[in-house]
Structure 1
């Protein structure tokens, strides 16, 4: 019988990228600069298998897996972000969401929230709908009658001809600037919804990140920057579509005026904190097979992390490591699994 790991390791479609548009990414002055990046060392295949290997390797009846239909050749051509969204909706969304549903039947009892990978329009309504991310890891509450859901992890779609993780190490100032602009936008979405995590996905890779609170929290970011007000400014380059319209993305953004705010909260109502460098990890679109960390497996994993603990901290325990919880028991960071005897080769959960 097939396993969940094999399902998540299915190859992504082979895309035609010859017609991709080029140019600059849009930027909004409301987005704060990031404090740099660093490798996310414990976002690895070994970590995922340590946390969820029992679920990923468990044989399941084939009828449990909802395989997406093959994508017709004309729709494999990537032109812009809308065409990337089309691939994600037809292929990755089908696989990842079914994998989340299966996993959560085992994990809700450990304290995981029910989460699904959704387009941004299903997340909680904001006063300004233009500032919704393309994607949302929505909190699913069966007894709730709410039309919209809390966004536990936002995501943004980009096109590989305008953004790639390799830009961060480029000697070209333009590429470095494009990398920072896109990442600042994605981090802004995470701040708005109060999420520890976020991601950027393109036709070339998945880039995931984790935010960390600065050890020295003194000083308010909001107090030292201009107060933002809305102006009409045509900066977003996406045309209305099934995905971009659904996520509430429009062609106008807010700008900046010369007044200051002394608030300890951002304009979005979330606590205003200084942050450390972002932990980031990148997964190539073309990677596949059960011996590899694939895009779908990475999306599945980071949604589960957000479904367990989303709070912003000054440091985090090693994902997959173990901490003593008393009475001869141990709990694993990242999976919330509790055991009486540590498994062979177990790592402690103190900060890596």
Structure 2
């Protein structure tokens, strides 16, 4: 059936059959788990932001095979006695297919792949309590993992909704509230579990999937923690041990669109598969733990800069001979030129692309009018896209991260004195 990628990801999740579980069971705990000091909601991870990031990709139309289940496949018997099979055969299959379609547009060319946790690298000496159920890894052009034990940059965990729900999570500051793991309430234990995964794997994103919801997490040092020390190795990661924060957002299992076209959970809400696809792309783009994170709205520029969309967007550049080269769109189903930010690299040339004027203004950039005459670029968008500025990628870098260079000292002979900064590298402050 021909459908957009967004419609494919928004397919209604299967209705699960009778659920069997052990009564009185508790959540996983470990005396070595790291405990976040602050819990907050993750703002901005919503359908509106997603469609601003990937307007072209989400509206691509392709014919895709349908997935099916037998009744026995939908009978859940605990976390790993049925539900994890549903996640593997349904959610994972859809997400992997969507990621495969996205692969050709990712600049590094690797396939972002969702696998069982045991297929990825575990922290050295990790016991069962430190091994995630799910992992995200990278595959090369031949479909092979990078190394015999690929890095897991997106740990995931399967839970049973009767044992844990995000609705039970309390938001606030929990510093010095728990003296031992035995004092952790049941709703806090899964947070400590995924928080510890992120600490050991040195990645900022994680998730928990249950038979009622998908809960996505982002971790980092808390705002009220100490200032970073330039002499501390991996200080951002180490700060999680005593001043960590975990943010979360929930996506209900029921969200999506039925075969009859009925919107479940609202037409503008994320579905589980859409959110899983998105968080995999986020983690593949950048997953390091940092002191502060930009809002997802602010990340749109950087995210789209890592994609190759030459077939969808017109952006002028000067080739090695000085002549103007033009890329014209083959489709405009999702967006016009003012909504997209493509970029590319051609040798050592400076790439140019169209971005909204409002975004350009936030970066302190000035629009660059295209030259008239022999080198004038034309496209189906007309001579100038509305509310659009043509700027170079290098100008964003130079305006956003401008560093004042110290003036060279002039010796008595009129020559610049040689800098001795190379001898003081060990004393330089970490940026």
1:286 is matched with: 254
1:297 is matched with: 274
Q: Is the 8 A contact 2:28 2:193 kept in 1?
A: no
SS in 2 for 1:161: coil
Q: Is the 8 A contact 1:22 1:162 kept in 2?
A: no
1:335 is matched with: 304
User: CA deviation digits over 1:243-280, x for unaligned, max 9?
Assistant: xxxxxxxxxxxxxxxxxxxx9789xxx95223442121
Query: Size of the alignment, in residue pairs?
Result: 289
Residue 81 of structure 2 is aligned to residue 115 of structure 1: no
Alignment partners' CA distance in 2, 1:321 and 1:79: 42
Alignment partners' CA distance in 2, 1:311 and 1:301: 17
Alignment partners' CA distance in 2, 1:47 and 1:145: 31
2:261 is matched with: none
Pick closer, same or farther for the CA change 1:169–1:16 going to 2, 3 Å: farther
Alignment partners' CA distance in 1, 2:302 and 2:23: 42
2:154 is matched with: 153
How far the C-alpha of 1:333 sits from its partner, in A, is 3.7
Pick closer, same or farther for the CA change 1:338–1:77 going to 2, 3 Å: same
Pick closer, same or farther for the CA change 1:128–1:313 going to 2, 3 Å: closer
1:8 is matched with: 9
Structure 1 gaps of 5+ residues are: 221-262, 323-330
How far the C-alpha of 1:145 sits from its partner, in A, is 6.6
How far the C-alpha of 1:209 sits from its partner, in A, is 0.6
1:133 is matched with: 132
Indicate the structure (1 or 2) with the bigger Cα radius of gyration.
2
Runs of 4+ residues deviating >6 angstroms:
263-266
Residue 57 of structure 2 is aligned to residue 55 of structure 1: yes
Q: Is the 8 A contact 1:139 1:152 kept in 2?
A: no
Residue 244 of structure 2 is aligned to residue 273 of structure 1: no
SS in 2 for 1:272: helix
Structure 2 gaps of 5+ residues are: 172-181, 258-266, 306-340, 344-352, 364-431
Residue 211 of structure 2 is aligned to residue 213 of structure 1: no
Q: Is the 8 A contact 2:46 2:269 kept in 1?
A: no
TM-score in terms of structure 2 length: 0.60
User: CA deviation digits over 1:165-188, x for unaligned, max 9?
Assistant: 001149xxx9x8122101111111
Ranked by relative contact order (alpha carbons within 8 Å, sequence separation 6 or more), the top structure is 1
2:20 is matched with: 19
Alignment partners' CA distance in 1, 2:212 and 2:166: 10
Residue 296 of structure 2 is aligned to residue 319 of structure 1: yes
Pick closer, same or farther for the CA change 1:17–1:335 going to 2, 3 Å: farther
